Amino acid sequence: MNSREALINTFLEGSPWQLAQRRPLNQDASFRRYWRLELNGQTAMLMDAPPPEKPVSEFADIARFLRSKGLHAPAIYSMDVSQGLMLIEDFGSDTFTRILAAEPSQENALYDLAIDTLIDLHRIGVFAGLSIDEYDISTLIGEAQLLTEWFFPAMTGQPASTSQKDRYSAAWQESFAKLTPHPHTLVLRDYHVDNLMRVERAEQPALCGLLDFQDALMGSSAYDLMSLIEDARRDIPDALRDRCLQRYFAAMAKQKDFPSQKALTPWLNVLAAQRHAKVLGIFVRLYKRDNKAIYLEHLPRVLALYTSALAREPALQPVQQWMTHNLPAEIIDLSVLGITAN
C-alpha cells in the first residue's frame, strides 16, 4: 500500500463508503485521479488531487455556487482539503461523448442541452460570494505561449528564441487590443462533450451534469461557447455549429447589455485561436513529458482549427504574421511526432 492509498483509507474510515468497492476511472490529462465507489447499489465518486496543486476546496466552492443557481454540479459529500481528497456525487457514465458514440442521432438534443445550460450560466448577473481570479489578457497570452514552448520545438527541432517568444506575446497583445470589452462571466474553461453528462432523474427532463470546472475563472462569455463548438477532440459539423450559435444568441439577445453575435464573434475567433495554440502545446507536452501519446491523434484537428481561426479573423493578423515568419505551414510536419495523414 502506497502513501496515497493509506491517506484515502484514512479519509474514508468511519464513513459508509469505507467498505465500498473502488473502481479506478481512466485518467485524464490532469494530475487528478478518480474512483467510482460502489456499495449496496449506491455509488459515489472519489477525487484524488494531491497538494500542492489547486485545492479541492475551490472545486467545492464553485460546485456549491453552481448548484445554488440551479445548475447541475455534483453535490459535495465530504472533503479533506489538506490531503486533496473529496467525495462527491456520481453522475454515472453517460458523458455526452459516450452517448454520441453509441447514439449519433442524439447530437442535436445533446448540444441543445449544452447550449441551454450555458445560457443559464451566462444569465447569472451577480457572482457575489464566489472568489476566483480573472481570465485576463496576461493569463490568456501565457497559455498561448505553450505553442512556442512545446509545439514550436517539436516542429523546428530547436527551441524558440527569447526574441521569437517576445514577438509572439506582442502579437497576441495587439490582437486582443483590437477587441471590444464586454462584461465578464464565470468561465468553466473545459466546456466540451467529454465533461458534460446526461443525468436522468425520475419524471424530469434530462439534466446537463457539469464536470471539471475547478479551474474556472471570470472572463469572456465567448470562451465556453467557443470550447463547445471548436472541440479539440471531435469534429463539429457546420450545421451543428450554426445551430448552437443561433440558439445561444437568440436567447442571450434578451439579456440586458449582452453583446450581439456580430460584436462577440471577434472574441469567439480570437479565443478559439488562443485555445488551439494552447492545446497544440499541451498535447505535445503530454506526449514528450508525460508519455501520453493518446492525445496526438487530435493534433491534426487542432492544427486545422487553429489555422482556420487565424485566417478568418482580421484581429488575428499579428499572430498570423508571426506564424508566417516563424512557423510557416511548409515546416509543420506532424509526422515527426509519429502522426500519419488520414
Mean pLDDT across the stretch 195-213? 89
- For the ranges 26-30, 121-125, 316-320, the maximum mean pLDDT occurs at 316-320
Mean pLDDT across the stretch 308-327? 98
pLDDT of 165 reads: 98
Q: Which three cell numbers stand for residue 142?
A: 501565457
Lowest-confidence segment of 130-134, 267-271, 274-278, 298-302 by average pLDDT: 130-134
pLDDT class for 259, splitting at 50, 70, 90?
A: very high
My answer on whether 103 and 83 are in the same domain is: no
My answer on whether 160 and 305 are in the same domain is: yes
* pLDDT exceeds 80 at position 53: no
Q: Note whether residue 218 is domain-resident.
A: yes
Reference 176, options 311, 269, 312, 279; nearest CA is: 269
Per the structure, the complete domain to which residue 189 belongs is given by: 96-337
My answer on whether 208 and 333 are in the same domain is: yes
Q: Note whether residue 275 is domain-resident.
A: yes
My answer on whether 242 and 303 are in the same domain is: yes
pLDDT class for 86, splitting at 50, 70, 90?
A: very high
My answer on whether 328 and 269 are in the same domain is: yes
Prediction pTM value: 0.92
Mark 83-97 as b/e (b = at least 16 C-beta within 10 Å). Answer: bbbbbbbbbeebbbb
My answer on whether 159 and 239 are in the same domain is: yes
Q: Which tens digit of pLDDT belongs to each residue from 218-241?
A: 999 999 999 999 999 999 999 999
Lowest-confidence segment of 25-34, 201-210, 249-258 by average pLDDT: 25-34
Number of domains in the chain: 2
Give the CB-side neighbour count of residue 66, counting CA atoms within 13 A. Answer: 28
pLDDT of 129 reads: 79
Percent of the chain past pLDDT 70, that is, above it, reads 97
pLDDT of 299 reads: 96
Q: Note whether residue 342 is domain-resident.
A: no
pLDDT of 15 reads: 86
Mean pLDDT across the stretch 247-276? 95
* pLDDT exceeds 80 at position 52: no
Mean pLDDT across the stretch 314-334? 97
- Kindly report the number of other CB atoms within 10 A of residue 267's CB atom: 24
Reference 277, options 170, 153, 140; nearest CA is: 140
DSSP string, 86-106: EEE----S-BHHHHHHH-GGG
* pLDDT exceeds 80 at position 271: yes
* pLDDT exceeds 90 at position 85: yes
pLDDT of 198 reads: 95
Q: Which three cell numbers stand for residue 315?
A: 484581429
Give the domain-ending residue among 33, 64, 88: 88
Mean pLDDT across the stretch 81-87? 92
Q: What is the CATH number of the domain that holds 244?
A: 3.90.1200.10
Lowest-confidence segment of 15-24, 149-158, 305-314 by average pLDDT: 15-24
pLDDT of 33 reads: 87
Give the domain-ending residue among 61, 88, 115: 88
Q: How far apart are CA 215 and CA 28, in angstroms?
A: 15
Q: How far apart are CA 244 and CA 247, in angstroms?
A: 5
Mean pLDDT across the stretch 147-170? 98
My answer on whether 148 and 77 are in the same domain is: no
* pLDDT exceeds 90 at position 206: no
My answer on whether 80 and 199 are in the same domain is: no
* pLDDT exceeds 70 at position 316: yes
Q: Which helix (H) or strand (E) holds 10?
A: helix 3-12
pLDDT of 27 reads: 62
* pLDDT exceeds 90 at position 135: yes
- DSSP assignment letter at 72: B
Q: Which 3 state secondary structure label does DSSP give 53? A: coil
My answer on whether 115 and 62 are in the same domain is: no
My answer on whether 23 and 122 are in the same domain is: no
pLDDT of 28 reads: 59
Mean pLDDT across the stretch 122-150? 93
pLDDT of 1 reads: 56
Q: Note whether residue 151 is domain-resident.
A: yes
With left for phi above 0 and alpha for psi between -120 and 50, is residue 271 left, alpha or beta? alpha
Q: How far apart are CA 98 and CA 323, in angstroms?
A: 36
Q: How far apart are CA 226 and CA 198, in angstroms?
A: 20
Q: Note whether residue 287 is domain-resident.
A: yes
Q: Note whether residue 293 is domain-resident.
A: yes
Q: How far apart are CA 217 and CA 332, in angstroms?
A: 33
Give the domain-ending residue among 64, 88, 112: 88
What long-range pairs does 60-63 form, CB within 8 A, spacing at least 24? Answer: 60/86, 61/130, 61/131, 62/130, 62/132, 62/186, 62/213, 62/214, 62/216, 63/88, 63/213
pLDDT of 338 reads: 85
My answer on whether 7 and 47 are in the same domain is: yes
My answer on whether 305 and 157 are in the same domain is: yes
CA distances to 112, 114, 211, 227 from 109, rounded to whole Å, are 5, 9, 19, 18
Mean pLDDT across the stretch 278-299? 95
pLDDT of 278 reads: 98
The mean pLDDT of the chain is 93
Q: Is-contact 70 123, C-beta < 8 A?
A: no
